[in-house]
Amino acid sequence: MSEIAPWEYRVLSVGSAWRGPRDEVLEEALNELGAEGWEVISVLAHDYGGGKVRVVAKRPLTDRARRRRSLPQ
């Protein structure tokens, strides 16, 4: 039986309360996430209207990320 891989998640809002993100801005944000090893799993419009979109991404949880999370903030 294979072990379940642990993930870390990131949520990013793009756009403004008045209008959605320009294609170039959204593309830049997605490219930055990809360069950092994130895989986008969902893009949603904010519930309260406006133009913001919420991007949800995941990547495998590394030992380095685990240590960083365990440090006091």
Q: What is d(CA 55, CA 29) in angstroms, rounded to the nearest whole number?
A: 9
Residue 16: predicted pLDDT: 81
Q: Where are the domains of the chain?
A: 7-70
Q: What is d(CA 52, CA 16) in angstroms, rounded to the nearest whole number?
A: 5
Q: What is the pLDDT of residues 50-73, one digit of tens each?
A: 688 899 999 999 877 766 666 565
pTM: 0.75
| Virtual torsion, Cα 26, 56, 43, 14, nearest 10 deg | -40
Q: What is d(CA 58, CA 73) in angstroms, rounded to the nearest whole number?
A: 22
